Amino acid sequence: MHSPLVERWLSLATSPRPAVIDAAGAVHTYAELGHGARSIASALREAPGGARASLAGERVGLLISPGAAFVEALMGVLLAGGTGVVLTPLYPTRERRYFCEDARVGVLIASPDLAPLAAELSEGRRLLLTDEGLREGARELEPAPSSPASPALQLYTSGTTGRPKGAVLSHENLATQQALVGRAWGFSQEDRLLHTLPLHHMHGLAIALLTALGSGACTRFLPFDAPRVWDAMAEATVFMGVPSMYQRLHVAYEAADVDTRARWSRAATHLRLATSGSAALPTSLGEFFRARSGAYPLERFGMTEIGVGLTNPLEGERRPGCVGLPLPTVDARVVDEAGVEAEVGELLIRGPSVFGGYFERPEETAAAFVAATDGGAPWFRTGDTVTRVLDEAGAPVAFKILGRTSVDILKSGGYKLSALEIEETLREHPRVLDAAVVGVPDEAWGERVVACVLLREGPGHPPDARALRAFCKERLAPYKVPKDVHVMAALPRNPLGKVVKPDLIRELEGREKRE
């Protein structure tokens, strides 16, 4: 018996169709990757006394550069009955070691270019390299049995609000996501996904890569470099990005000459779909990309724990700043602090794509769910504050994310404020490249609203704090105007480009103490 996720892979693993194009341009078919995956699965199951029937959920760390070898290793782990823990060179050794120790990783698979980093983690662990020797030395074994409930991946949360936790995702969770997102976004074997996202994250790994693989599409891996990405759009049908990527595309476009801009705009029109996730896309960036590609990027709401839960439509109106409606099989509620249904409040989600819990964290798992009163599955607490967008008849047509309840919903002077709303207003200033708004603890205000901005080059003197506050006063209610504005050289970000606001708050508090 195999899970739907493994069955889908096995149905494609003999196809001569292209599955992966690596950064160097080499093309790899599904059949080639299928052979490589089976070889890795067999190598993983080898033991001194003979081959094991299954790894039975054993955690296997993957430290592999994006490309064919990554796909082979990931699917090899699943064929062997193991659970993948994807590591990344983007994090320091200390963080990678924490993931391995927390997950109790027993085996590491590394690509030769990352072997020195893997060696730092190999003490007490078996280390395999994705080279030809691994394939040649492995025996062909039948895939290990797997059930829908078997753990497939252990992905670590981004850590923007605390220490990363290992979210355990089952084969059913991922197979459901693969099918739902593939249908909702119209994926087919004719698609070519331009993949520039990191693979240790739900966005790049499951939402992008597994969706493409599940549809029989081809994935082109490319390190993110704005000029190269612009040009690569000419041979792609789908691009998935995060707001910081769209920002860098914008900066590169503005710096380019007229002929280059025209070429890049033509390239963008080849895309049938561009998506944005992991953080709210500034409307200014969405409109910029619409003007070049012909369509506003499709925004959706997703998390490590749930995959994609809500999405704007593939066809029809995409409302800027909104994340659409729930996918089929996904239920959504909005509740206030007392747990009562509300128009504005925390978003709760449930459905077969929602994970079962955090690895060996029973208390944090219990706190992440709310019992259902209808006898159904418990509701996952997303920690995001949302509001429903209604049509003229009062029917919901989309959800709008107001921000993370913990860091984006500020309580200042008796008011609840959305940091995202203030950030979007600041980005309307022609000299503001990006903005992050936080609440700094304050005796008088509860939280003092502080804006940190990055400026772009432009004519005349750059705006100072006074000018930026005046700009906000013309566009926001007085209680929403930042009390302080700081022009920064950089903002603290995680590997996906999302601003880590707790780090920013600590930086501001340290600056105030020094002053």
Q: How far apart are CA 273 and CA 233, in angstroms?
A: 11
Q: Check residue 74 and give its pLDDT.
A: 98
Mean pLDDT across 339-350: 93
Average pLDDT, the chain: 91
Give the residue among 321, 273, 277, 280 at the shortest CA–CA distance from 294. Answer: 273
pLDDT band at 358, cuts 50/70/90?
very high
Residue 495 has pLDDT above 80, yes or no: no
Average pLDDT over residues 128-148: 78
Residue closest to 110 by CA, chosen among 147, 72, 81, 153: 72
Give the tens place of pLDDT for each residue, 229-266.
Answer: 999 999 999 999 998 899 899 999 999 999 999 999 99
Write down the pLDDT at residue 510. Answer: 78
Q: Quick one: average pLDDT of 160-172?
A: 83
Q: Across residues 390-413, what is the average pLDDT? A: 83
The predicted pLDDT at position 444 comes to 74
Residue 162 has pLDDT above 80, yes or no: no
Mean pLDDT value of segment 28-47: 92
pLDDT score of 442? 81
Is 80 exceeded by the pLDDT of residue 143? Answer: yes
Give the pLDDT band of residue 158 (cuts 50, 70, 90). Answer: low
Percent of the chain with pLDDT over 90: 70
Q: How many CB atoms lie within 10 A of CB 260?
A: 15
pLDDT of residue 286: 94
E strands present in 285-343: 298-303, 307-311, 325-326, 331-335
Instruction: Evaluate if residue 50 carries a pLDDT over 70.
Output: no
Is pLDDT of 22 > 90?
Answer: yes
pLDDT at position 399 is: 93
Predicted pLDDT at 410: 86
pLDDT at residue number 138: 59
What kind and span of H or E run contains 98? helix 93-103
The pLDDT value recorded for residue 278 is 82
What is the pLDDT at residue 330? 96
Confidence of residue 298 (pLDDT cuts 50, 70, 90): very high
What phi and psi, each to the nearest 5 degrees, are found at residue 83?
-120, 125
CA distance 504 to 492: 6
Of 215-224, 353-362, 377-386, 413-422, minimum mean pLDDT range: 413-422
Calculate mean pLDDT across residues 130-152: 80
- Distant-in-sequence, close-in-space partners of 333: CB < 8 Å, separation ≥ 6: 341, 347, 348, 379
Distance CA 237, CA 56 (A): 38
Asked whether residue 474 carries a pLDDT value surpassing 60, the answer given is yes
E strands along 56-200, which residues? Answer: 59-63, 83-86, 107-110, 126-129, 151-156, 166-170, 192-195
Q: Which two tokens stand for residue 9?
A: 């892979």
Given a cut of 70, is residue 159 above it in pLDDT? no
HSE toward the beta carbon, residue 321, CA cutoff 13 A: 15
* pLDDT at residue 312, as a whole number: 96
Place of tokens 């699917």: 75
pTM of the model: 0.87
Tokens 């997102």 found at: 181
Q: What is the dihedral of CA 194, 247, 224, 275, to 10 degrees?
A: -20
